[in-house]
Amino acid sequence: MTNIEQYKVHKEPFYQAQGDEVALYEAAYKARLPVMVKGPTGCGKSRFIEYMAWKLNKPLITVACNEDMTASDLVGRYLLDANGTRWLDGPLTTAARIGAICYLDEVVEARQDTTVVIHPLTDHRRTLPLDKKGELIEAHPDFQLVISYNPGYQSLMKDLKQSTKQRFTGFEFDYPDAALESEILAKETGLGIEVCSKLVQIGQAARNLKGHGLDEGISTRLLVYAATLIKNGVDAKAACRMALVRPITDDADIRDTLDHAIDVSFA
């Protein structure tokens, strides 16, 4: 028997709402509607889902999708052991059985023939056929499916089919405005708001370079890393270079531009 408590979020995750997304998600969950969360890397999509699972007191099963993931990785497979073969449920099947929120993170990374298995769970049927086992699972009344992805990385090879997209309600996330993002850094790390504001200014400068040398700007997640290092005694300029610049670019010109912005902010 699966222990539901092991999937519960027992400690409140810090999440700063940007609008009415909490109330809207609660409404979607009340109706058990599937939810799609879109937004750039590190803007708080996963934290939001974790927070909502905590707030609703529901188990959360997260799957980090990748291009090698098969349908069996989601629904389950037969395994050999000393007594012969036994069936092992995958995370999607486990969530459907116990009534968890199943969160497929970066779902576009999975192959399209894999994501098709979620279709029966996202309409009036709310079922999951286990073809290899010859079983049809009726989803638990509390089950909900949530997916996320970064539209900035979409391509013809990595995009959701319209037949998949139109099965979900949707949220579009972005980085917070400067004042709110500074507050988030301060609350998350305990660093002073003045220093946090300088970090946010550097982050915004990098985001302006997206499409002009950078594939993606500096995320709120990386700003939290930098703030954490500074809070722990690391020199501000060194912390910014380590957390904000070196991870996102190998281009010498872009690196020098961002290093200069750091020097100006922490002169």
What's the pLDDT tens digit per position in 198-249? 999 999 999 998 888 888 889 999 999 999 999 999 999 999 999 999 999 9
Q: In what order do the strands lie in the sheet with 35-38?
A: 60-64, 101-105, 144-149, 35-38, 169-172
Question: In whole angstroms, what is the distance from residue 167 CA to residue 196 CA?
Answer: 39
CATH 3.40.50.10490 holds for 4-172: no
Q: Give the percent of the chain with pLDDT over 70.
A: 97
Q: What is the mean pLDDT of residues 243-265?
A: 94
First-residue to last-residue Cα distance in the chain: 59
Instruction: Give the model's pLDDT for residue 156.
Output: 46
> 């519960």: which residue's tokens?
8
Beta 84-89 vs 76-81: how paired, if at all? antiparallel
Length of the chain: 267
- The ranges assigned to domains in the chain are 4-172, 178-265
Q: For 92-120, what is each residue's pLDDT tens digit?
A: 999 999 999 999 999 999 887 888 999 99
CA-based nearest residue to 144, from 51, 43, 36, 1: 36
At 78, the pLDDT band (50, 70, 90 cuts) reads very high
Question: In whole angstroms, what is the distance from residue 203 CA to residue 188 CA?
Answer: 16
At 7, the pLDDT band (50, 70, 90 cuts) reads very high
Question: In whole angstroms, what is the distance from residue 226 CA to residue 119 CA?
Answer: 40
Q: What is the mean pLDDT of residues 67-92?
A: 92
CB 115 within 8 A of CB 70: no
Beta 35-38 vs 127-130: how paired, if at all? unpaired
Q: 37-75: buried (b, 16+ CB within 10 Å) or exposed (e) per residue?
A: bbbbbbbbbbbbbbbbbbbbebbbbbbebeeebebebbb
CB 122 within 8 A of CB 34: yes
Looking only at Cα atoms, what is the longest distance across the chain? 68
128 beta partners = 137
* pLDDT for residue 51 is more than 70: yes
Instruction: Report the predicted TM-score, pTM, of the whole model to 2 decimal places.
Output: 0.92
Q: For 115-140, what is each residue's pLDDT tens digit?
A: 899 999 999 999 999 999 999 999 99
* pLDDT for residue 154 is more than 60: no
CB contact set of 222 (below 8 Å; sequence gap of 6+): 42, 203, 243, 244, 247, 248
- What is the rounded average pLDDT for all residues in the chain? 93
Q: What is the mean pLDDT of residues 179-190?
A: 96
* pLDDT for residue 74 is more than 90: yes
* pLDDT for residue 1 is more than 80: no
